[in-house]
Structure 1
Amino acid sequence: MSPVLVRYPGVASAWERDAGIAQVAQIARTADTLGFHHLTCSEHVAVPVPIAAERGSTYWDPLATFGYLAAVTEQIRLVTQVLVLGYHHPLAIAKRYGTLDRVSGGRLVLGLGVGSLQQEFDLLGVPFADRGARADEALAALRASLGTARPVFHGSYYDFADVVVEPHALQPHVPFWIGGRTLRSLRRAVRSGDGWVPFGLSTDELSAMLRRVELPAGFQVVVSTGRPLDPGADPDGVRHALDRAAAAGATVVGVSIAARSAAHYCEQLGALRALHRDEETQ
Structure 2
Amino acid sequence: MTTRFGFSLQGRGALADRDAITTLALRAERLGFDSVFVTDRLLIPVQSASRYPYSATGAFPLGPDEPWLEPLTAVTYLATVTARISVGTSVLVIPYRNPVVTAKALATADYLSGGRVILGAGIGWWREEFEGLGVPFADRAARTVEYLRLMREIWTKPRVVFEGRFARISEAGGVRPHPVQRPHIPIWIGGHSEAALHRVVEIADGWHPLGLRPPVTLYPAEMAAAVRRLRDMAAAAGRDPKTITITFKGPLKFAAGAGADRPPLTGSAAQIAEDLSAYVAAGVEHFVLDFSVPTVPEMLDVLARVAADVRPRVGV
151 and 241 in structure 1: CA distance in 2 versus 1, 3 angstrom threshold: same
Residues 43-122 of structure 1 aligned to structure 2 (within 5 Å): 43-50=40-47, 54-57=60-63, 58=66, 59-122=68-131
Q: What is the RMSD of the two structures over their aligned residues, measured on CA atoms? A: 2.6
Change over 3 Å in CA distance of 1:94–1:259 after alignment to 2: closer
- Aligned counterpart in structure 2 of residue 252 of structure 1, from 273, 286, 294: 286
Q: Normalising by structure 1, what TM-score?
A: 0.85
Compared CA separation, residues 180 and 263, structure 1 to 2 (3 A): same
Instruction: Provide the C-alpha distance between the structure 2 equivalents of 1:239 and 1:176, rounded to a whole number of angstroms.
Output: 27
Which residue is equivalent to 1:202? 218
Distance in 1, Cα, partners of 2:113 & 2:137: 33
Corresponding residue of 1:10: none
**Amino acid of the residue matched to residue 92 of structure 1?**
V
Report how far residue 206 of structure 1 moved: 2.7
1:193 is matched with which residue? Answer: 204
- The CA deviation at 1:246 is 2.2
Give the unaligned 5+ runs of structure 1.
8-16
Show the 5 A alignment for 1:88-237: 88-164=97-173, 165-172=175-182, 173-199=184-210, 200-203=216-219, 204-214=221-231, 216-229=241-254, 234-237=268-271
Aligned counterparts of 1:73 and 1:222: Cα–Cα separation in 2: 22
Which residue in 2 is equivalent to 1:238?
272
Aligned equivalent of 2:305: 271
Give the Cα–Cα distance (whole angstroms) in 2 for the partners of residues 19 and 122 of structure 1: 25
**Quick check: 19-28 or 106-115, which moved more?**
19-28
- TM-score normalised to the size of structure 2? 0.77
Q: How many percent identity over aligned positions?
A: 31
> Residue 2 of structure 1 aligns with which residue?
8
- How many angstroms apart in 2 are the aligned matches of 1:281 and 1:176? 26
CA distance in 1, matches of 2:152, 2:171: 17
Does the aligned pair in 1 maintain the 2:273–2:311 contact within 8 Å? Answer: no
Match of 2:30 in 1: 33
Alpha-carbon distance between aligned partners in 2 of 1:189 and 1:85, rounded to the nearest angstrom = 14
Whether contact under 8 Å (1:4, 1:20) holds in the other structure is: no
Deviations 1:143-191 (CA, angstroms, capped at 9, x unpaired): 1111444222222222214212233322231100001120110121122
Cα 1:238–1:50 change in 2 (3 A) is farther
CA 1:147–1:78 in 2, change beyond 3 Å: closer, same or farther? farther
Cα 1:149–1:35 change in 2 (3 A) is farther
Whether the 8 Å contact between 1:40 and 1:80 is mirrored in structure 2 is yes
- Deviation at residue 89 of structure 1 after TM alignment: 2.3
In 1, the alpha carbon distance for the partners of 2:152 and 2:113 equals 19
| Residues 150 and 162 in structure 2, CA contact (< 8 A), matched pair in contact too | yes
Q: Which residue of 2 aligns with 1:13?
A: none
Query: Could you tell me how far 1:258 is from its partner in structure 2?
Result: 6.5
- Quote the residue 2:39 is aligned against: 42
Query: How many Å separate the matches in 2 of 1:28 and 1:87?
Result: 26
Once the two structures are superposed, residues 172-216 of structure 1 have per-residue CA deviations (whole angstroms, 9 ceiling, x without a partner) of: 311000011201101211221011111233224333222223252
1:214-272 Cα deviation digits (max 9, x unpaired): 252142222123243469x9212321331233243321112123668424533432332
Q: Which amino acid aligns with 2:20?
A: Q
Q: Tell me the secondary structure at the aligned position of residue 152 of structure 1.
A: strand
